[in-house]
Amino acid sequence: MMPHLWPMVRKEFIQMRRDRLTLAIMVGLPVVQLLLFGFAIQTDVRNLPTVVLDQSRTPESRDLVAAFQNTGNFRVVAHVDDRPALDRAIERGEAQAGIVVPYDFPRHLARGTTAVVQIIVDAADPLASQAAINAAVGVAEVRNLALLSRAAGRAAVPLEARVRPRYNPGLRSPNYIVPGLVGVILTITMVLITAMALVRERERGTLEQLIVTPITKTELMLGKIAPYVGVGLVQMTAVLLLGRFVFAVPLTGDVVLLYAIALIFVVASLSFGLFISTLVRTQQQAMQVAFFFVLPNILLSGFMFPRQAMPAFFQWIGLALPLTHFLKVLRGILLKGVGVAALWPQVAVLFGFAVVMIVASVRRFHKTLD
Amino acid sequence: MIAASVETYGLTRRFGAVAAVRDLTIRIEQGEVFGLLGPNGSGKTTTIRMLCGLLEPSGGSATVAGIDVSVAPEQIRQRIGYMSQRFGLYEDLTVSENLNFYAGIYGLTGSGRRARVAEIVAFVGVGNRLQQLAAELSGGWKQRLALGCALLHRPAVLFLDEPTAGVDPAARRSFWRAIHELAAEGTTVLVTTHYMDEAERCQRLAMLSGGRLIALGTPAEVAAQVGGKTLEDAFILLQERDEQ
């Protein structure tokens, strides 16, 4: 069965070994990307620079400002004397939040009427401001409860919601980003490698010699894919190890299962790249098409932005990307520790994608020069 | 009667509106060294590519080693050897790796492969350069290696597309000696060239011009048919006519 496959795989291995630059990129890329994404992407914004306009200047008002600061979301950088100064600070970007405590703050407290404290947040970046807004609301609620309970003469509050964020209790960004990054890096490198594979032989003139031999189209395609499966798994190992030891990302579930499914995903990505290779005429075109494919993978797969927030149409597009399904596998196994029982739909989709792409590539490819 | 090794009837290939090969009918016997002669763009390469199954004919028919190229191109592969005009082997593989790769692709395994590769290494004389990368070889050595790779599976028909372009005279001479040795053993050789001394070494020639067959026969017959005293005269006459 497939007698010409092994010589083809051997040849690809030798060529891969000789191409030092590409090899260095394949190993270096995951490391660089992981460090970049891992350190740079922090979606939980803390320590928003804050200016305070405290018009009452009383122990109560100072206590309140301290409470805001204690949430960790606000970092007081300056105190100002009037409202225009506060607005200027935010306009210039010296501060991204302002806290205004009015003159009558202690009087309202004493009388039991509602005291209004203004929190101004620069919400131009919704991601950065969201945490601060939530924290501000939280501070007020906690204060209200304490004041009301005291007024009602109760020692305890009637109801408390105890939220327990499961699977990522610290709500740490790396726990979310690093598993996703495994999938993103594999997508970029695997698709790009095989997208170049056939056109490179065509451009160098070696394809002409190869296709007058009895090698079958399937052997040719599988021979182009096989050596890079190993590369993909090495890349994944590098990212997982760095994630574990540099970013303390947990490895909760069954690692063997993860590698088994990753193998299918890698083949799916490689075969998609190969399909690109059958569509284009030059390596440059191959590169362009590959990048065109990579972008929606990063944006729509749920790697950075939650898919639930997307309009239905884009969710559908996302479903067509293998990365979307592999991300569920990665996060499922690494963070939740779930098994194959929960992941078989993803496995089925990835397997189907790989098969369809290989068949499509074999069909598109002709052993002629036309 | 000797069996025809390559036979074409009305073979035609168009690229869009342009016919690169028009209505070509030739018959090449087994063990013959047959030359396709003609200026650039006369249709030599297109003809060879159709016979190897690399291009589909637009019209007419062709059989190679008894198999119709349009019907069963895959069955032809194991019976033909092909040397493309441009060096088609892997420059980032060594001489030995190229030979072993093609031996494997042609289905040779184990001790049979080792023996055959050793035989070919001796035949084309690359024994001292086995560990050298193909990229580092000079034109003459590349050509020997390419011939070697095309012969590994003992093809019945050998197609050589301008095999000696850019090769020094000494290397060309030894190359032609090898070609005649192969033909003597029964291999049919179809070679394209525009070197006159090489055309003279062919048993028969087909002269092409603008995709048409304009003369067919021994070198002397072809020269006479075109109207020159020698083959070279004939060729120059033809080229001048084409360029007008």
**Structure-block tokens of residue A133:** 């807004």
Tell if the CB–CB gap between A206 and B102 is shorter than 8 Å: no
Smallest CA–CA distance from A220 into chain B, residue: B105
Q: Looking at this protein, which amino acid is placed at residue B152?
A: L
Tell if the CB–CB gap between A214 and B106 is shorter than 8 Å: yes
- B143, B171 in Cβ contact below 8 A? yes
How far is residue B52's CA from residue B64's CA, in Å, rounded to a whole number?
Answer: 8
**Alpha helices, DSSP H, located in chain B:** 44-51, 73-77, 95-105, 110-124, 139-151, 169-184, 196-200, 219-226, 231-243
Closest Cβ–Cβ partner in A11, A205, A368 for B55: A368
Inter-chain contacts counted by CB atoms under 8 A, chains A and B: 78
Tell if the CB–CB gap between A15 and B82 is shorter than 8 Å: no
Q: Centre a 10 Å sphere on the Cβ of residue A13 and count the other Cβ atoms it contains.
A: 15
**Structure-block tokens of residue A72:** 């960790």
Q: Centre a 10 Å sphere on the Cβ of residue B38 and count the other Cβ atoms it contains.
A: 29
- A255-259: long-range contacts, CB 8 A cutoff, minimum separation 24: A255/A333, A257/A333, A257/A339, A257/A340, A257/A343, A258/A329, A258/A330, A258/A333, A258/A334, A259/A233
Window 128-167 of B: residues touching A by CB (8 A cutoff) are: 146, 149
Mutate which of B69, B90, B159 to test chain A, going by most A C-beta atoms within 10 A?
Answer: B90
Quick one: DSSP state of residue B94?
A: B
Whole-number Cα distances in Å, B159 to A229, B64, B141: 37, 11, 19
Which residues in chain A come in under a pLDDT of 70?
A: 41-45
Tell if the CB–CB gap between A208 and B86 is shorter than 8 Å: yes
pLDDT at residue B1, rounded to an integer = 44
Whole-number Cα distances in Å, B219 to A112, A160, A324, B192, B225: 118, 104, 68, 14, 10
Closest Cβ–Cβ partner in B86, B107, B109 for A214: B107
Tell if the CB–CB gap between B80 and A212 is shorter than 8 Å: yes
- A247, B107 in Cβ contact below 8 A? no
Give the sign of the dihedral formed by CA A32, CA A33, CA A34, CA A37.
positive
| β-bridge partners, B35 | B191, B205
Mutate which of A200, A208, A367 to test chain B, going by most B C-beta atoms within 10 A?
Answer: A208
Supply the pTM of this predicted model.
Answer: 0.84
How far is residue B196's CA from residue B235's CA, in Å, rounded to a whole number?
Answer: 8
Q: In sequence order, what DSSP letters do the residues of A310-346 get, joined into one string?
A: S-HHHHHHHHTSHHHHHHHHHHIIIII---HHHHHHH
φ/ψ of B58, rounded to 5, equals -85, -25
What interhelical angle do A255-279 and A217-246 show, nearest 10? Answer: 130
Chain A hits for B56, CB-CB cut-off 8 Å, are 368, 370
What interhelical angle do A283-300 and A312-319 show, nearest 10? Answer: 130
Chain A hits for B100, CB-CB cut-off 8 Å, are 7
pLDDT at residue A123, rounded to an integer = 84
Chain A hits for B77, CB-CB cut-off 8 Å, are 212-214
Query: How far away is chain B from the Cα of A215, in angstroms, using its nearest Cα?
Result: 6
Closest Cβ–Cβ partner in B82, B100, B146 for A212: B82
Nearest to A50 by CA among A85, A99, A116, A100: A99
Tell if the CB–CB gap between A368 and B93 is shorter than 8 Å: no
Window 37-56 of B: residues touching A by CB (8 A cutoff) are: 49, 52-56
Query: How far away is chain B from the Cα of A31, in angstroms, using its nearest Cα?
Result: 28
Tell if the CB–CB gap between A367 and B53 is shorter than 8 Å: yes
Tell whether B80 is within 8 A of chain A (Cβ).
Answer: yes
Mutate which of B92, B100, B136 to test chain A, going by most A C-beta atoms within 10 A?
Answer: B92
Chain B hits for A19, CB-CB cut-off 8 Å, are 92
Mutate which of B76, B105, B153 to test chain A, going by most A C-beta atoms within 10 A?
Answer: B105
pLDDT per residue as tens, chain B (244 positions): 456 799 999 999 999 989 999 999 999 999 999 999 988 888 999 999 999 999 999 999 999 999 999 999 899 999 999 999 899 999 999 999 999 999 999 999 999 999 999 999 999 999 999 999 999 999 899 999 999 999 999 999 999 999 988 788 888 899 999 999 999 999 999 999 888 888 899 999 999 988 999 899 999 898 888 777 777 877 787 777 766 6
Query: How far away is chain B from the Cα of A217, in angstroms, using its nearest Cα?
Result: 11
pLDDT at residue A41, rounded to an integer = 67
Smallest CA–CA distance from A19 into chain B, residue: B92
Nearest to A328 by CA among A318, A46, A173: A318
Query: Which positions in chain A have a beta carbon within 8 angstroms of at least one beta carbon in chain B?
Result: 3-4, 6-8, 10-11, 14-15, 18-19, 204-206, 208-216, 367-370
Chain A hits for B78, CB-CB cut-off 8 Å, are 214
pLDDT at residue A223, rounded to an integer = 94
Tell if the CB–CB gap between B105 and A370 is shorter than 8 Å: no
Tell if the CB–CB gap between A18 and B78 is shorter than 8 Å: no
Q: Report the alpha-carbon angle B208-B48-B150, nearest 5.
A: 135
Tell whether B67 is within 8 A of chain A (Cβ).
Answer: no
Query: How far away is chain B from the Cα of A365, in angstroms, using its nearest Cα?
Result: 13
Q: Looking at this protein, which amino acid is placed at residue A317?
A: I
Query: How far away is chain A from the Cα of B54, in angstroms, using its nearest Cα?
Result: 4
Smallest CA–CA distance from B109 into chain A, residue: A3
Query: How far away is chain A from the Cα of B227, in angstroms, using its nearest Cα?
Result: 36
Element of type H or E holding B64: strand B59-64
Chain A hits for B82, CB-CB cut-off 8 Å, are 209, 212
- B146, B156 in Cβ contact below 8 A? no
